[in-house]
Amino acid sequence: MQLEDAIEKIRTKARANDPVALQDALELTTLHPEEASAWLVLSYVHARSGHCEEAIADLNRAVAIAPEEPVLYFNRGRYSSELGMHTDAISDYSRGIELCDVHNDDYYRSAFHFLKAYSHLQLGDKKSALLDLSNVVDENYSFWVDGMITKKQLLSQCDA
C-alpha cells in the first residue's frame, strides 16, 4: 500500500473515531520515520482525540524533516492556540507567512494572518492584531476557532 493511501485510510478511521486509527498512525511512523506526512497524520489523530500536546510533538518531528512545509506550522499553531500557548502559535503563524512568501503561494496566507490576529488578541495586543487583520483582504473572512469567528468580530474586539 502506498503511503498516501495509508494516510487517507487513517484519516477516514480518525474521522469515524475508530480507535485503530492511532495504532495505524503509530505503525506508519515506524515504517516511514523520515516522512513528514506520516508524522502529520499522527498529529491529526492525536488532535482529533483531544491530545494536542502529543499532536504538537508529532509536528515537531515533521518540522524537523520538512521545515519548509507551511501546513505543519498552520497545524502546530492551531494546536498551540487550543492549549492557550498563543506566543508559540504566533511564532508558527509568522513562520507560515514567511513560507508563503518563499513559495510564492497564498493558499494559507489569510488564515495565518487571521489566526495570528486572534492569538494577538488573546494576549491583549490589539495593535498587532489590527496589523495582521489588515492583511486579510476578504471583509467577510471567517474561521472556526472556539466557534465560527469573523474578521468583523475580531476588528470589533480590537476597537473595544
Average pLDDT over residues 128-155: 95
Q: What is the pLDDT of residue 119?
A: 98
Q: What is the pLDDT of residue 82?
A: 95
Query: Which candidate, 125, 43, 130, 56, places its Cα nearest to that of 92?
Result: 56
Confidence check: pLDDT of 76 > 70: yes
Q: What is the pLDDT of residue 146?
A: 85
Contact 93, 115 (CB under 8 A): yes
- Grid cell digits, residue 102: 518563499
Domain boundaries, the chain: 1-67, 87-160
Rounded to an integer, what distance in angstroms lies between the CA atom of residue 10 and that of residue 147? 26
Confidence check: pLDDT of 15 > 80: yes
Going by pLDDT thresholds of 50, 70 and 90, the confidence category of residue 160 is confident
> Which is the CATH superfamily of the domain at 1-67?
Tetratricopeptide repeat domain (1.25.40.10)
Maximum mean pLDDT: which of 1-10, 82-91, 98-107: 82-91
Contacts of 85 (CB under 8 A, 6+ apart): none
Hey, which residues does 144 pair with through a beta bridge?
A: 148
Confidence check: pLDDT of 1 > 80: no
Going by pLDDT thresholds of 50, 70 and 90, the confidence category of residue 136 is very high
Exposed, middle or buried: residue 70 (CB in 10 Å: 0-12, 13-18, 19+)? Answer: buried
